[in-house]
Amino acid sequence: MLLAFGVANFFGTSLAGYLVTRSVSLTLTGMALVMSVTAVVLVSFWQSAVAGRCRRGDVGPGVWFDADRLVNVDLPGGAG
């Protein structure tokens, strides 16, 4: 596992160094865009996976995102 992180870190740092030498502002803008898109995709997939399990009752206490509130906390037994 650590070897995989090390290899990914090496290639990521090499790519970042190459991109920074070409254009610093374009690299910073591009990385912010990539991170934003990644966050939206992860939240979308996480929301659908957790919400599906909560409806079936597979999950006890859960935290998930909702359109009405930023975060919903579900405690078993109606506590809270």
Written as six digits, the tokens of 73 are 């906390």
**Residue 74 pLDDT exceeds 80:** no
Question: pLDDT tens digits for 8-22?
Answer: 999 999 999 999 999
Of residues 73 and 34, the one with the higher pLDDT is: 34
If we measure between CA atoms, which residue out of 48, 79, 80, 78 comes closest to residue 66? 48
pTM for this predicted structure? 0.50
Written as six digits, the tokens of 21 are 């030498």
Q: What end-to-end distance do the CA atoms of the chain give, in Å?
A: 40
* Sequence letter at residue 21: T
* Percent over 90 (pLDDT), the chain: 45
**Residue 80 pLDDT exceeds 50:** no
Question: pLDDT tens digits for 29-54?
Answer: 999 999 999 998 888 877 666 666 55
